[in-house]
Structure 1
Amino acid sequence: MRWHCLRLFLIPTLIVVSTTLKAATVLYSHEGATDPTTEGWAKSASGATTIVTSAYTDTADSNRESWRIYDPGEASGGTGLYYQAVLTAPKTADILSTGWEYNATLKVPTLDPNENTAWSTGSNTWVGFLAANDGLGNRRAWALMFGRNATGGTVVSLFGGTSRTLDPGYHDYSMVYDPTTKLATVSIDGEVWLTNYAGSNQGAAAGSNLVYWGDNNSQSASQTARAAYYESVEFIQYSTAPEPGRMLLFSSALVVWAMRRRRG
């Protein structure tokens, strides 16, 4: 009976959602404890500090599988390690013209490495998309940055924008870019946080186009040790020509993804 009720709820939901979503393609993704370099991500490291990456089973949180990035924070002057996918200029222009979505589920742990030690969001744990040319002649980045307060709460901030504090633990984050308004809607755990995120203008158009996540640190002074558990990452491009069959399939995937990641 419970499944029957759930099925009755899901079917109309899928029908409604499928009429509003465009067809979409997952361009890059990461899942669980899989080494990102086997999923099409390139690893980029800088600085003298040795940053440790590894598959991780979170025994403190229902044995959830993730990819752990640990930065001992010993050195100054630009240590970092992140995973990236480099896009061509034409591909980036295409993505900006059709729209994109960036989803991630991650945890800023309370006890790893230091209990009750705060660390800021600036240039630490990141999930972002960098366009060398945003179509208006600017280099622009849309990114979320993560830190921790002294009581273990997760702090999330927009690159070039505002911040908020969440309870400790895993959270689902999403940025959805509208090519018409050129603004992104940012959601946390399925609830809209902001609808007018323009990204951060980085000056005149130049450099590479990147989808990236990890520890992107460029500190000028020694930082405290920090870690993050990346359970999933997904970068999606929307299509200009929605196909009903693909829309329904994608809608189904979104509902399943949301149900799978709901917290009990």
Structure 2
Amino acid sequence: MKSPLLSWVLALWLAPLSSAFAATLLFSHNGSTDPTTEGWSRSTATTTVTGAAYDDDGTAVWRVTDPGNSSGGTGLYYFRTMNATTLDTVMTSGWELSATISVPTDDPTSGIAWGVDSNTWLGFAATEGAGRRYWALMFGRDASGNTRVTAAGSAAGTRTLAAGYHDYRLVYDPGTARVTIYIDGEVWQSDYNGASASAGSNLVYWGDNNGQSSVIPTRSAYYESVDFVVAPEPSRLLFLLLGAFAVFGRRRRG
């Protein structure tokens, strides 16, 4: 358990810095709120994939379920776009994409492995101008119900996690043009370069980004929160410090 005294001292020490170098929250999703009421757009109006509010044993989430069909619309993700001016600010100041996500062990079935692919997705694409890239996490599960995660375009392979909710953060450093990936406050990858992207809109997106052409196992994902912020260098340092302390007091859920 995190010490109340330690939390108090940390808050006093960080307060002046956080006021001077505050990060800017651009996009956010929270709990079981319909993303379209938070400013997110749906990728399509016609799809067999569903998105709905859901109570996961007391945790409010947005549940995205893919029945695994091979036609009729097989994807549904939520996205926010940004213009070239905002993109320039984001890429020169630095950005952070964070989310709390659960790949359930028994919804709608248990004991069946799901491939680690873009049926469950969290990402950001910068697709205007030169050097078009995207950075994204993709999720699946093994037959025992453990969560599996990989980073698109990374050679680091797949990480296996215990079932339940996990906190994921992608932190972009404009000085190196690389992303550090954190899982539950701990560094997983520190030199992630993303993958090449085609020309298109600059967007943050999450949900089911896969238009499969063959039948796959039915699957669901629970999105408790998604945040995208512009974080100048001092703010990123504060986030790292806060994340390190938060890991000691973080609640664990199955």
Q: Which TM-score tier does this pair reach, normalised by the shorter chain?
A: 0.7 to 0.9
Query: What does residue 109 of structure 2 align with?
Result: 114
Is 1:50 the counterpart of 2:45? The answer is no
The secondary structure found in structure 1 opposite 2:63 is strand
Is 1:218 the counterpart of 2:207? The answer is no
Between the aligned partners of 1:50 and 1:190, the Cα distance in structure 2 is 35
The answer as to whether partners of 1:77 and 1:220 remain within 8 angstroms in 2 is: no
How many Å apart are 1:23 and its aligned residue?
2.2
The secondary structure found in structure 2 opposite 1:122 is strand
The secondary structure found in structure 2 opposite 1:8 is helix
Q: How does 1:63-82 map to 2 (within 5 A)?
A: 63-76=58-71, 79-82=74-77
Query: What does residue 8 of structure 1 align with?
Result: 5
The answer as to whether partners of 1:77 and 1:218 remain within 8 angstroms in 2 is: no
Q: How does 1:157-172 map to 2 (within 5 A)?
A: 157-161=150-154, 162-172=157-167
Aligned-residue CA RMSD in angstroms? 2.9
Query: What does residue 232 of structure 1 align with?
Result: 225
How many Å apart are 1:15 and its aligned residue?
5.1
Between the aligned partners of 1:29 and 1:190, the Cα distance in structure 2 is 20
Between the aligned partners of 2:12 and 2:195, the Cα distance in structure 1 is 36
Q: Structure 2 vs 1, CA of residues 92 and 99 (structure 1 numbering), >3 Å: closer, same or farther?
A: same
TM-score by length of 2: 0.87
Between the aligned partners of 1:254 and 1:220, the Cα distance in structure 2 is 40
The answer as to whether partners of 2:47 and 2:72 remain within 8 angstroms in 1 is: no
Between the aligned partners of 1:202 and 1:255, the Cα distance in structure 2 is 32
Tell me the amino acid that sits aligned with residue 8 of structure 1.
L
Q: How does 1:236-251 map to 2 (within 5 A)?
A: 236-239=229-232
Unpaired stretches in structure 1, ≥5 consecutive residues: none
The answer as to whether partners of 1:69 and 1:227 remain within 8 angstroms in 2 is: yes
Is 1:263 the counterpart of 2:252? The answer is yes
How many Å apart are 1:122 and its aligned residue?
1.8
Between the aligned partners of 2:96 and 2:87, the Cα distance in structure 1 is 13
How many Å apart are 1:35 and its aligned residue?
0.6
Q: Structure 2 vs 1, CA of residues 102 and 260 (structure 1 numbering), >3 Å: closer, same or farther?
A: farther
How many Å apart are 1:94 and its aligned residue?
1.3
How many Å apart are 1:6 and its aligned residue?
3.0
Tell me the amino acid that sits aligned with residue 51 of structure 1.
V
How many Å apart are 1:263 and its aligned residue?
1.7
Q: How does 1:34-49 map to 2 (within 5 A)?
A: 34-45=33-44, 49=47
TM-score by length of 1: 0.84
Please give the per-residue CA displacement for 1:168-195, whole angstroms capped at 9, x wherever unaligned: 1110000000000000110001111110
Is 1:185 the counterpart of 2:180? The answer is yes
Identity over the aligned pairs, expressed in percent? 48
Q: Structure 2 vs 1, CA of residues 150 and 76 (structure 1 numbering), >3 Å: closer, same or farther?
A: farther
Tell me the amino acid that sits aligned with residue 4 of structure 2.
R
Q: How does 1:85-96 map to 2 (within 5 A)?
A: 85-96=80-91
Select 1:147's aligned residue among 140, 143, 166. Answer: 140
The answer as to whether partners of 1:123 and 1:217 remain within 8 angstroms in 2 is: yes
Between the aligned partners of 2:249 and 2:119, the Cα distance in structure 1 is 28
Q: Structure 2 vs 1, CA of residues 188 and 253 (structure 1 numbering), >3 Å: closer, same or farther?
A: closer
Between the aligned partners of 2:192 and 2:251, the Cα distance in structure 1 is 25
The answer as to whether partners of 1:43 and 1:82 remain within 8 angstroms in 2 is: yes
How many Å apart are 1:77 and its aligned residue?
8.6
How many residues are aligned here?
248
Tell me the amino acid that sits aligned with residue 10 of structure 2.
T
How many Å apart are 1:163 and its aligned residue?
1.6
Between the aligned partners of 2:24 and 2:117, the Cα distance in structure 1 is 31
The answer as to whether partners of 2:101 and 2:165 remain within 8 angstroms in 1 is: yes
Between the aligned partners of 2:36 and 2:245, the Cα distance in structure 1 is 26
